[in-house]
């Protein structure tokens, strides 16, 4: 059954609190609550490179880089709401089934796979006032070895993960994934390798 996702998103955004631009702050990003990244760049996922080629305005360098967003109770609830909204209004379908290609990144139109969920959540949060530099598409590896994409949100409480496979918003280290690479905070079109040296990942329970 089709759902009017635009109407739902509009309703959510009408309730969203206004966010003033928050300057870069001296958060301790070396804390264990944040995934560390390697120096230099990482390979860009093919699907994201194609996405940027067709939507260059969405991949321009961020004019202001906010290191992490102060997480108030209202903003925490907003993350929960957005995660639930997209997870319940988009039907998961693989790119092979939907577009007959191995990988195709786009905004979902009622259907999509993991990176489409992440793109949709990022767009809704940006429209609600979140700084783009705190909303990072991230590639992870599942326990079965498969690749997966989630949205990492950088807050003063750590890197939080919005995932279409889980209704909870979790700290990165509480997810069952190995973190591989993500968008750079200053340039959405650039990617950086992530340093995840944990020997045991969190349980899905």
pLDDT digits (tens, 9 = 90+) for 30-50: 889 999 999 999 999 999 999
- Nearest Cα neighbor of 154 from 184, 175, 176, 124 is 184
Packing angle of the helix pair 114-127, 46-54 (nearest 10 deg): 40
pLDDT at 181 over 80: yes
Assess if CATH 3.10.620 describes domain 28-195.
yes
Residues in Cβ contact with 122 at an 8 Å cutoff, skipping those fewer than 6 apart = 132, 135, 137, 151
Q: Is 62 within 8 Å of 145 (Cβ atoms)?
A: no
In this predicted structure, the answer to whether residue 9 has a pLDDT above a threshold of 60 is: no
Compute the average pLDDT of residues 156-176. 96
Question: Would you mind telling me the total number of residues written for the chain in this entry?
Answer: 205
What mean pLDDT is predicted for residues 42-70?
96
- pLDDT, residue 201, reads 57
Can you say whether the dihedral through the CA atoms of 170, 174, 180, 184 is positive or negative?
Answer: positive
Q: How confident is the model at residue 198 (pLDDT cuts 50, 70, 90)?
A: confident
What are the domain boundaries of the chain? 28-195
Residue 203's pLDDT is what? 55
Once rounded to an integer, what is the mean pLDDT over residues 6-15?
43
């Amino acid at each position: 059954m089709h759902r009017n996702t635009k109407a739902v998103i509009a309703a959510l955004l009408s309730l969203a609190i206004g966010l003033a631009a928050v300057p870069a702050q001296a958060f301790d990003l070396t804390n264990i609550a944040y995934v560390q990244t390697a120096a230099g760049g990482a390979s860009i996922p093919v699907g994201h490179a194609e996405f940027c080629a067709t939507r260059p305005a969405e991949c321009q360098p961020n004019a202001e880089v906010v290191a992490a967003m102060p997480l108030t109770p209202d903003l925490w609830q907003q993350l929960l709401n957005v995660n639930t909204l997209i997870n319940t209004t988009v039907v998961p379908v693989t790119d092979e089934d939907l577009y007959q290609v191995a990988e195709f990144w786009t905004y979902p139109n009622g259907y999509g796979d993991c990176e489409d969920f992440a793109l949709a959540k990022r767009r809704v949060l940006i429209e609600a006032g979140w700084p783009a530099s705190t909303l990072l598409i991230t590639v992870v590896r599942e326990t079965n070895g498969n690749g997966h994409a989630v949205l990492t949100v950088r807050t003063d409480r750590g890197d939080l993960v919005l995932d279409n496979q889980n209704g909870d918003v979790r700290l990165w280290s509480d997810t069952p994934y190995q973190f591989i690479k993500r968008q750079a905070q200053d340039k959405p079109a650039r990617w950086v390798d992530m340093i995840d040296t944990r020997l045991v990942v969190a349980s899905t329970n």
